[in-house]
Structure 1
Amino acid sequence: MARMKFICDAERCIECNSCVTACKNENEVPWGVNRRRVVTVNDGVVGQEKSISVACMHCSDAPCMAVCPVDCFYRSDEGVVLHNKDTCIGCGYCSYACPFGAPQFPSNGQFGLRGKMDKCTFCAGGPEESGSKAEFEKYGRNRLAEGKLPACAEMCSTKALLGGDGDTIADILRTRVLRRGKGSEVWGWGTAYGKSHNPDATAPNKPNGTNQTTGTIGTKS
């Protein structure tokens, strides 16, 4: 059985926020809630910026499930951590326990509005009938039931955000890392788009057959 997970490749993320927009548009996320957000460290420091797209990571040992006093969180057959809004009492314990800040209160007005918690569903809906109006209104679109990946991962322009079976996406990221090399060879924006701003990118491949700018394998000269 597949265990659905997210992985974000910080070397490819360009902070375009298309994943955030896709999530809000696809699921009609309530005002004041961001099920997904992009976090950037060393912002403005040339050569040291790193961005990563963050949402519920659907943990195998989810702390939100452990602290919920009414057990409104549950795990689907695919390993997606979901919650039942009919059971939720809005205590907020899950928001304190989650290291990713995934469960959030909706807000409305200057001081906000407490209510049922909202979080990323991996586009897997909720406990209501799949594809029903009630499911969409409470949890958003159930793309997994349609055989599709989450909208955020599909909309990522550089394929930095990967969503799907944990083993499969881990293999994809592992392959990328092995091909990147190290130091100045690490992929960046240029490689994510299939080109590089480095003038050496157009130079012939090195004697060992590896293009040192992109880390891709070429024909030996």
Structure 2
Amino acid sequence: MARMKFICDAERCIECNSCVTACKNEHEVPWGVNRRRVVTVNDGVVGAEKSISVACMHCSDAPCMAVCPVDCFYRTEDGVVLHDKDVCIGCGYCSYACPFGAPQFPSEGTFGVRGKMDKCTFCNGGPEANGSEAEFEKYGRNRLAEGKLPLCAEMCSTKALLGGDGDVIADILRNRVIKRGKGGDVFGWGTAYGGVKAQPAAGTPPAAPGAAPTAPAAPASEGSAS
């Protein structure tokens, strides 16, 4: 059985927000709720700006499921984390526990009205009958039941956002990363640690400032004269 996951390639994301728009349009998401959003770090800094599309990551050990006092969250056979709005009491514990800010309160009126929590469903609907009006009204369209993948991933113009079987999309990203570099820099080691500097051998005096590095002396062979 497939285990559904999302992966966003930060090297390809161009912050076009097509994934956000596709999600809101497909599921008629309530006002004030963004099941998916694009987060940008180092915004405006040339060469350092990175964007990533964020939603519910459908964790294997989901913290929202652990803290929910009424157990309204459940996991499907495909590994998709969903919740039952008929059981939800709107306490908000899940929104505090989720590191991605996926569960959200719908906002209506001047100050907002707390109601049933809403979150990304991986386009998998809810506990109601697949394709029913009740399911669409509460959770949006069930594309997985139609044999389709989440629309946010399908609408990504640069294919930065990948959604589907976790093993398949991990292989896709792995192949991309391998083609971008070589050695340890493939996984960003040089970026994270600023390169690896060679350490001088024990007993070697420090070089004078500005002096050219010298090659280490070859070790004496066994039996040589002292």
Q: What range describes the TM-score normalised by the shorter chain of this pair?
A: 0.7 to 0.9
Q: Which residue of 2 aligns with 1:23?
A: 23
1:132 partnered with 2:125: no
Partner of 2:86: 86
In structure 2, how many angstroms separate the alpha carbons of the residues matched to 1:125 and 1:19?
Answer: 18
List gaps (5 residues or longer) in structure 1.
Answer: 187-221
1:106 aligned onto 2:74: no
| One-letter amino acid of the structure 1 residue matched with residue 177 of structure 2 | V
Q: Distance in 2 between matches of 1:126 and 1:109?
A: 26
1:10 equivalent in alignment to 2:15: no
Q: Which one-letter code corresponds to 2:37 in the other structure?
A: R
What are the residue-to-residue correspondences of 1:1-221 with 2, within 5 Å? 1-181=1-181
1:5 match: secondary structure: strand
Q: Which stretches of structure 1, 4 residues or more, deviate above 6 A after TM superposition?
A: none
Which secondary structure state, in structure 2, belongs to the residue aligned with residue 71 of structure 1? coil
SS at match of 2:138: helix
Residue 175 of structure 1, CA deviation? 0.2
TM-score, structure 2 as length reference: 0.80
**Sequence identity of aligned pairs in percent?**
89
Specify the code of the residue in structure 1 equivalent to 2:108: N
Question: Deviation at 1:64?
Answer: 0.1
Cα distance in 1, alignment partners of residues 136 and 38 from structure 2: 24
Give 1:110 shift.
Answer: 2.3
Range that drifts further, 161-170 or 103-112: 103-112
SS in 1 for 2:120: coil
- Tell me the amino acid that sits aligned with residue 123 of structure 1: C
After superposition, what is the alpha-carbon deviation per residue over 1:139-184, rounded to whole angstroms, capped at 9, x for unaligned?
00000000000010000000000000000000000000001116xx
Using the TM superposition, give the Cα deviation of residue 94 of structure 1 relative to its aligned residue in structure 2, in angstroms.
0.1
State the secondary structure of the residue aligned to 1:136: helix
SS at 2:176 equivalent = helix
What is the CA-CA distance between 1:27 and the residue it aligns to? 0.4
Q: Which amino acid aligns with 1:178?
A: I
Q: Which residue of the partner structure matches residue 198 of structure 2?
A: none
Alignment-mate amino acid for residue 175 of structure 2 = T
Summarize deviations over 1:41-79 as a string: whole Å, max 9, x none.
Answer: 000100000000000000000000000000000000100
RMSD of aligned Cα (Å): 1.4
Deviation at 1:108, TM superposition (A): 1.1
Distance 1:152 1:10 in 2: 15
Per-residue CA distance 1:113-133 (angstroms, 9 max, x = gap):
100000000000000000000
TM-score by length of structure 1 reads 0.82
Alpha-carbon deviations, 1:92-118, whole Å to 9, x = none?
Answer: 000000000000000012211100000
Larger radius of gyration: 2
| Partner secondary structure for residue 152 of structure 1 | helix
Distance 2:108 2:39 in 1: 24
Give the total of aligned pairs.
185
Counterpart residue type for residue 52 of structure 1: I
* Deviation for aligned residue 1:85: 0.1
Amino acid at match of 1:162: L
SS at match of 1:38: strand
